[in-house]
């Protein structure tokens, strides 16, 4: 790896960490402190490893700042949909940061594009790549979010979103992390 891509990776890491910490709690007050540390760092690590896989597999020729930003924002969207809702630093109902889509709820894509100054069209294209990556590397079956009845999707406009059952549940998270770590090591 050359120095410029290393700098880009470090910059992406700082950007991701800041964005993750803006959106998700550092501690889960619903479970004991010792178990929380492992789980939370696992959610954070899962997102980072998923981004690295996306960067390696989908962005192999184009790793510019805009492409990487769209990749990171797509990972944030995946995390909002899949990380347990009680670990969010925000509530979808009363947050002025989020764009509502009529009575359908918060529009994740439009909201993240506004927050992180990205293009909706480009983010949707990147989300497609991210979803395909989850399907191929983690062997998760995609489901239209509009057809899923899970707490994480309450008050979220599910139009065009994909949900993966078993992606970030406590029972499957460590296996999925191991798969992403192996993919990273093999690259």
Tens of pLDDT, residues 73-121? 999 999 999 999 889 898 887 667 888 877 888 999 999 999 999 999 9
**Residue 101: per-residue pLDDT:** 79
> For 110-165, how does the pLDDT look when each residue is reduced to its tens digit (9 = 90+)?
999 999 999 999 999 999 999 999 999 999 999 999 999 898 899 999 999 999 99
**Residue 40: per-residue pLDDT:** 52
**Residue 95: per-residue pLDDT:** 66
* Least confidently predicted of 10-19, 56-65, 66-75, 114-123: 56-65
Transcribe the chain into DSSP letters: --HHHHHHHHHHHHHHHHHHHHHB-SS-TTS-HHHHHHHHHHHHHHHHHHHHHHHHHTSSS---HHHHHHHHHHHHHHHHHHS-GGGBSS-TTT-TTS-B-GGG-B-HHHHHHHHHT--HHHHHHHHHHHHHHHHHHS-PPEEEGGG---GGGTTB--TT-EEETTSS-HHHHHHHHHHHHHHHHH-
Residue 180 clears pLDDT 90, i.e. is over it: yes
**Residue 66: per-residue pLDDT:** 83
Using 50, 70 and 90 to split pLDDT, how confident is the model at 67?
A: confident
Residue 9 clears pLDDT 80, i.e. is over it: no
**Residue 149: per-residue pLDDT:** 87
- Dist. CA 42–CA 45, nearest whole Å: 5
Q: What does the pLDDT average to over 28-55?
A: 72
């Amino acid at each position: 790896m050359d120095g410029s891509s290393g700098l880009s990776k470090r910059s992406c890491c700082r950007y991701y960490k800041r964005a993750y910490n803006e959106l998700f709690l550092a501690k889960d007050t619903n479970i004991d402190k010792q178990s929380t540390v492992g789980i939370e760092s696992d959610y954070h690590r899962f997102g980072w490893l998923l981004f690295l896989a996306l960067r390696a597999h989908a962005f192999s020729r184009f790793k510019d700042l805009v492409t990487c930003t769209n990749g990171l924002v797509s990972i944030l969207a995946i995390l909002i949909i899949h990380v347990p809702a009680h670990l969010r630093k925000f509530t979808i109902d009363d947050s002025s940061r989020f764009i509502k889509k009529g009575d359908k709820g918060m529009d994740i894509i439009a909201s993240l594009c506004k927050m992180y100054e990205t293009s909706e069209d480009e983010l949707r294209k990147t989300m497609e790549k991210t979803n395909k990556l989850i399907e191929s590397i983690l062997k998760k079956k995609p489901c239209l979010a509009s057809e899923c009845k899970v707490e994480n999707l309450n008050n979220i406009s599910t139009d065009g979103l994909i949900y993966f059952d078993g992606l970030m549940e406590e029972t499957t998270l460590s296996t999925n992390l191991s798969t992403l770590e192996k993919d990273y090591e093999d690259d």
